[in-house]
Amino acid sequence: MTNKQLIKKWKHLSLTFNTEKLKRPLSEMFLICWGETEVEVDGKKEKVVLFDTGGEQGSPALHCSVDKDDVCWAFGYNSKTKAYAKAKIGKFVKND
């Protein structure tokens, strides 16, 4: 899947997390998909999809990308190093 496909299909997808083997629908975790934006990881710009709970400023959000195997890569900002880090957190699957 591509980021653009993720943006179109997100309300019909779930995320299966690596750590807990928990499957959660994206539409239960997030209210809004803002679309695609860019972040910089190790000096390289990467396109990511931004999901948001739609609450107050500082409420949980997810910057992520998807690869051809539907793996979810999350991007987190480290304020000390002023840089983003990338981690594999799970896989996107169709809702039941």
pLDDT digits (tens, 9 = 90+) for 21-61: 889 999 999 999 999 999 989 889 999 999 999 877 666 78
What's the pTM? Answer: 0.88
Instruction: Dig out the tokens for 44 from the structure.
Output: 């390289």
Could you give the percent of the chain with pLDDT greater than 70? 97
Least confident window among 15-19, 72-76, 78-82? 78-82
Does residue 66 have a pLDDT over 70?
Answer: yes
- Which candidate, 81, 10, 69, places its Cα nearest to that of 43? 81
Give residue 82's pLDDT band: very low, low, confident or very high (50, 70, 90): confident
